[in-house]
């Protein structure tokens, strides 16, 4: 099924690239968020394709508010048709399309595809993670040698503060949340932290990639993402070290209290 999932995501990626090349999409900005018409088009494609891949397994999506109202089923697909919409609209490469199969409140199968980079990350619970067909894993380094990743040209906000605390000097600008988590998984970066609201479809697929690559993903409190109840949670910590993730969670909580 992993190969089938990869093929579906690549097809979704081709839709994104085609629409961007032709300009055949519209978008709307609301505050800090941006939404493009191609989100819906790719949602419809993924919903049909994944339903054909696993008959009877429902598809829950960022783009389908109705799918988020009922109690979550025991097994379902959770998709983000376009993660990194701003990158997509502004002509950058850091956007992805992603899907995770959730069972028992945990992702068990996942794919993250960055079409403009021609990169695909895949993972299956207990079977490891792949980057373009090759095994990938986090890189173990001393903290002072770590690379922080975030989506700004230079570190800002919580990323800049944490770099100072950890004495980290290396920084990587990257696009979508999913891609940044995968950059930790493939060893390009070592840490990615957010202190804003994070939604389950942002992290389900890259979480499995990161964990199968040997890394850790936690919310800002240091807990695992529960994939139950509300789809929103506070912050995230994607890190190569579980111990560091716990320390960073404590630091985030103290920072919020001060």
| pLDDT of the residue at 177 | 97
How much is the pLDDT for 37?
85
Q: Running DSSP on this structure, what letter comes out for residue 72? A: P
Residues 206 and 116 in one domain: no
Q: What angle do CA 74, 195, 139 make, to 5 degrees?
A: 80
Q: How big is the chain by its Cα radius of gyration, in Å?
A: 17
pLDDT tens figures, 22-38: 988 888 776 656 777 89
pLDDT of residue 229: 84
User: How many distinct structural domains can be found in the chain?
Assistant: 2
Q: Which domain holds residue 159?
A: 143-257
**What distances in angstroms separate CA 165 from CA 67, 154, 159, 252, 256, one per listed residue?**
41, 17, 10, 11, 15
Q: Are residues 148 and 96 in the same domain?
A: no
What number is the average pLDDT over the span 200-215? 97
Same domain, 130 and 148: no
How far apart are alpha carbons 40 and 61 in whole angstroms? Answer: 10
249 and 224 co-located in one domain: yes
- CATH number for the domain that contains residue 224: 3.40.190.80
Q: Which pLDDT does position 31 carry in this prediction?
A: 60
Last residue of a domain, one of 90, 110, 135: 135
Which of 91, 118, 135 represents a domain boundary (last residue)?
A: 135
What is the longest distance spanned by two Cα atoms in the chain?
51
Both structure tokens of 56:
């009877």
CATH number of the domain encompassing residue 38: 3.30.540.10
Distance CA 166, CA 119 (A): 30
Nearest one of 158, 160, 195, 155 to 174, comparing CA atoms = 155
What pLDDT, in 10s, does the model give residues 148-183? 999 999 999 999 999 999 999 999 999 999 999 999
In terms of domains, do 201 and 103 share one?
Answer: no
Residue-averaged pLDDT of the chain = 93
Residue 258 has pLDDT above 80, yes or no: no
The dihedral sign for the CA sequence 164, 170, 176, 182: negative
- pLDDT tens digits, one per residue of 85-97: 889 989 999 999 9
The residue written with tokens 């890189």 in the block is 139
Residue 222 near residue 245 (C-beta atoms within 8 A): yes
Q: Which pTM was predicted?
A: 0.95
Residues 73 and 10 in one domain: yes
155 and 253 in a single domain? The answer is: yes
Mean pLDDT of 70-87: 91
* Residues 176 and 249 reside in one and the same domain: yes
């Amino acid at each position: 099924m992993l190969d089938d999932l990869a093929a579906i995501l690549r097809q979704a990626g081709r839709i994104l690239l085609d629409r961007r090349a032709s300009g055949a999409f519209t978008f709307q900005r609301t505050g800090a968020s941006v939404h493009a018409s191609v989100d819906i088009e790719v949602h419809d494609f993924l919903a049909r394709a994944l339903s054909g891949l696993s008959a009877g397994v429902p598809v829950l999506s960022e783009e389908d508010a109705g799918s988020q109202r009922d109690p979550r089923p025991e097994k379902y697909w959770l998709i983000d048709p376009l993660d990194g919409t701003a990158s997509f609209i502004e002509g950058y490469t850091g956007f992805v399309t992603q899907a995770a199969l959730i069972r028992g409140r945990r992702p068990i199968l996942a794919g993250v595809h960055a079409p403009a980079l021609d990169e695909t990350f895949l993972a299956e619970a207990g079977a490891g993670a792949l980057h373009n067909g090759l095994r990938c894993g986090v890189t173990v380094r001393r903290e002072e040698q770590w690379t922080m990743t975030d989506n700004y040209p230079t570190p800002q906000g919580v990323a800049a503060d944490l770099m100072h605390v950890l004495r980290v000097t290396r920084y990587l600008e990257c696009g979508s949340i999913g891609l940044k988590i995968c950059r930790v998984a493939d060893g390009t970066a070592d840490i990615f932290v957010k202190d804003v609201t994070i939604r389950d479809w942002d992290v389900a697929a890259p979480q499995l990639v990161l964990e199968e690559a040997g890394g850790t993903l936690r919310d800002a409190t240091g807990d695992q993402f529960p994939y139950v109840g509300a789809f929103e949670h506070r912050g995230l910590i994607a890190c190569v070290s579980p111990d560091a993730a716990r320390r960073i969670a404590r630091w985030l909580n103290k920072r919020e209290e001060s």
